[in-house]
Chain A
Amino acid sequence: MSRHSKALVAALACALLSTAALAEGTLEKVKSQGYITIANRDASIPFSYYDANQKPVGYAMDLCMKVVEAVKKKLNMPKLEVKYQLVTSANRIPLISNGTADIECGSTTNNLERQQQVAFSYTYFVTGNRWISKKSAHLADSLQALKGKTVVSTAGTSNIKEITEVNNKDNLGMNIISANGHPEAFQMVETGRAAAFVMDDILLYSLQASSRNPKEFEISKVSLSAQPYGMMMRKGDDEFKKLVDDTLAQVYKSGEINKIYTKWFERPIPPKHINLKVPMSAELKKVIANPTDSGDAKDYD
C-alpha cells in the first residue's frame, strides 16, 4: 500500500471509531462526562430566550430544569453541572444528532419527518403556523391574499418548508425569503422588505407585543397547520426518552404545569416586563390531560 493510502485508511478508521463511541445512551454520556448540555435559543420568546443578563430563561427552560432534576436523581449526581449550547433553527437538529447537545428545549415542532432524525418528548405546547403583517396591508384573511407577495420565514423551520410547499402546490407565486432568525425576519416586515412573516403564532404574538408599535401589525386568522412543540433528543435512546416523558407526565398530572404556564404567558416576563396575556388553549389542555408525543398534526385538532 502506498504511503497515501495508508494515511487515508488510518483517517477513516479514526472516523469510524469515533462514531462508534457515541452510540452510548445519553445517561451514560452524562454520567461519564459529569455534565449535561442543554441546547437553548436566544429569541424564542417566551419558550427559550436570553433575559437582560444573557441567561437562558423561558417556559421550555423551566420544564428542562425539571428534567435535569430527574437526571440528577436517577444518576445520583446532585452536583451535576449544566452547560448551555446556543442553537438556531438551522443547526439544532445536527447539533443534537452529533452529540454536541443532549437535549434541546426551545420551540421545536415535532413532526413525522423530523422523527426520522431525532426523537421528541411529550408535547408541551401547541401552536399554529400563521403569518404576521402590517394592518395597512390587509393580508390577514386568507392565504390567497399573499399571492405574488414577498414573504419571509426563518431558515430551518417547519414553517418555511410548509410555506414553500404550499406556494408550489397552490401556485401562489410568492417570493420566499429565508432569514437567519425570528427578530431579523420580523424586522423585514417592519421595514417593509417583506409583506408577511410566516411563523408559529405564539412567537409572532411575542414579537408583536415587544415591538415598538404593536398596533401596527396583525396576525392571520388562518392557521396552515398545528405545530406541537417537544424537547428534542437523540433518536434510539429509549431510556433517556422515558425519563424525560415521565418527568413531563408528572409535571402535568400534579398540576404544576399550570403554575409554570401562568408564569410565562399570563404574567410580566423579562426583559421588558410585558404580559403576553395568552390563556391556555383548548389544544394544550387536551395534551396535558393526555400526554402524547405524536408528530402528526391531525392528532392535535
Chain B
Amino acid sequence: MYYHWNWGILFAQEPGGSGTYLHYLLVGLVWTLATALAAWVIALAIGGVVGTLRTTNHPWVVRLGNGYVEIFRNVPLLVQMFLWYFVVPELLPEALGDWIKQIPPPWGSYIPAVLCLGLYTSVRIAEQMKAAIQSLPRGQRYAGIAMGLTQWQTYRYVILPQAVRIILPPLTSEFMNIIKNSSVALTIGLMELTGRAKAMQEFSFQVFESFAAATVIYMLTNLVVVLAMRWLERRVRVPGLIAAAGATQMAAH
C-alpha cells in the first residue's frame, strides 16, 4: 500500500484560509456541540413530556404519545435528515419553501439538523421515561392517591423525582448518542467535525491523520460527558430513595 504519512498536515494551512487543519477540525467540534446541545434541549423537553403522558390513564393521550413515538422510531435517522432538508421545503407553500431554501449555509443545514436530531432523540427519551416510570412499584402511585394528592401532584412529588434518578444512566448514553449522531448532518451539508474530517481528507489526501484526529476529539468530548453525568448522578442521589439501588449503595459503604 502506497501511503505517505504526514502528521504535520494537522498544522498545515487549510485551503479556505481560516487557519491550520487542526483549527478547522476544532471549529467543527464547536458546530457538533452546537447542534447536539440544541437538539438535546428539544429532545429532553419533548421526550420527557411525551414519556410521562404515556403512563397516565387518559387513553387518547396515551394513544397520541404512542403514535408519535412509533412514527419517529421506525424511520432511520439518515432518512429523517433527508426528509427534513429536501422534502419539507417542497411540501410547504411555495413562498415559504423558497424562503427556507434560500437560508444561507450553515443555518440552512443547521436548523433541519437540530430539528431532526431533536425529534429523533426525543422518542428514545420518551421510551426510557415510560420504562422508568413503569418500573416503579404500583404502590407509589396508590400511596399518592391514598394521601389525597391529585394525579398531577402524585407525578410531581412522588413518581417523577424517582423516575428521573432512574433514567440518568440511560440518559448518559443518549447524550453521547446525540453527539455521535450529529455526524449524520454532514449529509445535508453541515460542516461539523466529521464533515470537516472528510473535507480535510479530500483536500490533503491524508486519510489516517484526518480521521484519527476526529476520533480522538470525539472520544475526549464523550469522556467529558460521561464524567459530567457521573458527577450529576452523585449530586442528586438520595440514599434509600430507589429501594433496590439504595440497598446496594448502602451495602457498598
Contact = CB atoms under 8 A, between A and B. Distances in A.
Nearest to A89: B202
Interface string B156-175: 00000000000000000000
Nearest to A20: B1
Interface stretch (A78-86, A159-167, A256-264, A289-297): A159-167
Interface in B182-204: 187, 189, 195, 198-199, 201-203
Contact of B4 (A19, A116, A160): A116
Contact of B101 (A116, A175, A179, A193): A193
B16 A178 contact: no
A150 B105 contact: yes
Interface in B92-129: 98, 101-102, 104-105, 108
Given A167-B16, A175-B104, A192-B102, A155 B198 contact: yes
B17 interface: yes
Nearest to B108: A193
B104 A22 contact: no
Q: Which of B15, B104, B199 has the most CB of A within 10 A?
A: B15
B15 A168 contact: yes
Contact of A178 (B2, B17, B108, B199): B199
B2 A235 contact: yes
Q: Which of B1, B98, B108 has the most CB of A within 10 A?
A: B1
Nearest to B186: A178
Interface in A123-179: 150, 155-156, 160-161, 164-165, 167-169, 175-179
Contacts of A98: 1, 3
Contacts of B187: 180
A228 to B, nearest CB: 19
A55 B49 CA distance: 53
A241 interface: no
B203 A19 contact: no
Contacts of B1: 18-19, 22, 97-99
A268 interface: no
Contacts of A235: 2
A164 B105 contact: no
A233 to B, nearest CB: 11
Interface string B8-22: 000000011100000
B155 to A, nearest CB: 45
A177 B103 CA distance: 13
A60 B27 CA distance: 40
Contacts of B199: 155, 178
A93 B4 CA distance: 13
B205 interface: yes
A160 B4 CA distance: 23
Contacts of B198: 90, 155
A169 B13 CA distance: 13
A161 B204 CA distance: 10
A90 B2 contact: no
Contact of A90 (B98, B101, B104, B202): B202
Contacts of A93: 205
A117 B4 contact: yes
Contacts of A236: 2
B2 A234 contact: yes
Q: Which of B2, B195, B201, B207 has the most CB of A within 10 A?
A: B2
Nearest to B105: A175
Interface string B124-144: 000000000000000000000
A8 to B, nearest CB: 16
A116 B1 CA distance: 14
Given A94-B207, A150-B104, A165 B15 contact: yes
Contacts of A254: none
A191 interface: yes
A180 B189 CA distance: 9
Nearest to B18: A168
Contact of A164 (B4, B15, B101): B15
Contacts of B3: 19, 97-98
A193 B89 CA distance: 11
Contacts of A90: 198, 201-202
A129 B2 CA distance: 29
B105 A155 contact: no
Contact of B17 (A19, A114, A168): A168
Interface in B216-243: none
A177 B15 contact: no
A180 B1 CA distance: 26
15 contacts: A19-B3, A94-B205, A117-B4, A155-B198, A161-B203, A164-B15, A168-B16, A175-B105, A178-B195, A191-B101, A192-B101, A192-B102, A193-B101, A193-B108, A236-B2
